[in-house]
Amino acid sequence: MRAWGITDVGLRRRENQDTYAFEMFGAPDTVVAVVCDGMGGVNGGRLASSLAVSTFMEELHQSAHSGMTAEQVSEMEARCVQAANTAVYARSIEEEAYHGMGTTLVSAIVSPDTAVICNIGDSRAYHIGAEGISRVTRDHSVVESLIESGDITREEARTHPNRNLITRALGPDKDAECDCFVLPIAEGDGILLCSDGLVVTMEDEEMLGIIRAEPDGEQALTQLLELSKSRGAPDNVTIVLIWNGGEAQHG
């Protein structure tokens, strides 16, 4: 199991309000990763995302134990998300300057045969396997709801005036509702986590093409970031890539 991560402020933002973390966890064959995209004022977004990531990881270390089933891992991961929400919400009501701050979150706990993924907001998780690339998560956003109702197309969503509005986040409310997914993975499969700064600049198949063409994970992420910036990178860009053994699959 291997993992890489990269983050960049992009070309239009003054500060990077994304935060990410990943580590080998419990055993050398398990990776835990989390990506957060903050929102709320000059400093609020950065604080919200960093606090959510650190709290999520701390809660995970306190709660995880050997022999957990996939269902137990999913329940634990959801509790970690709630702990992160509690931390961000508490800080937001303690200081007026941070009132209303929040963050998205997408996380993954990946073992050799299973990936357990949770998300809230519009940061995404993708599965990369023999059949190609598929999005695991559903965006909690205004445009995703409009797409699902048939009011706009995915192409129209890229330039929609409400494309940055999300319908769920960590921090604004006392409780947070996340979605969790359990999916089987095979050797050579990958899990990609990213903030929306990546997906607004390229198609899923473009991401897959770069990852499959570049066996070095670090170089693949660098190329994804460079392509995003060549297309204007209007937001912060953060990517984490996890490979389940072996080299990246080539098409």
**pLDDT tens-digit map of 197-214:** 999 999 999 999 999 999
pLDDT the model gives residue 183: 97
At 142, the pLDDT band (50, 70, 90 cuts) reads confident
Q: Give pLDDT, residue 251.
A: 33
pLDDT, mean of residues 5-15: 94
Which pair of tokens denotes residue 151?
A: 């009011």
Domain spans of the chain, in order of start:
11-189
* pLDDT (0 to 100) of residue 161: 65
Quick check: 169 pLDDT over 50?
Answer: yes
Is residue 81 within 8 Å of 56, Cβ to Cβ? yes
Q: pLDDT tens across 29-78, in order?
A: 899 999 999 997 657 999 999 999 999 999 999 999 888 999 999 999 99
Q: What is the mean pLDDT of residues 123-150?
A: 88
Here the tokens at position 245 are 């053994």
Per CATH, is 11-189 categorized as 3.30.70.120?
no
Taking alpha carbons only, the member of 23, 116, 120, 125 closest to residue 74 is 116
Residue 162 in this model has a pLDDT that exceeds 90 = no
- Percent above pLDDT 70 for the chain: 90
* Residue at token pair 């660098």: 222
Q: How far apart are CA 220 and CA 10, in angstroms?
A: 17
CA 101 to centroid of chain Cα atoms: 18
Predicted pLDDT of residue 206: 97
User: For the chain, what is the mean pLDDT?
Assistant: 91
pLDDT score, position 146: 78
Q: What percent of the chain has pLDDT over 90?
A: 77
pLDDT of residue 230: 97
Count of residues making up the chain: 251
Give the C-alpha separation, 141 to 122, whole Å.
6
In this prediction, residue 152 carries a pLDDT of 73
pLDDT over threshold 50, residue 247: no
CA distance 83 to 251: 40
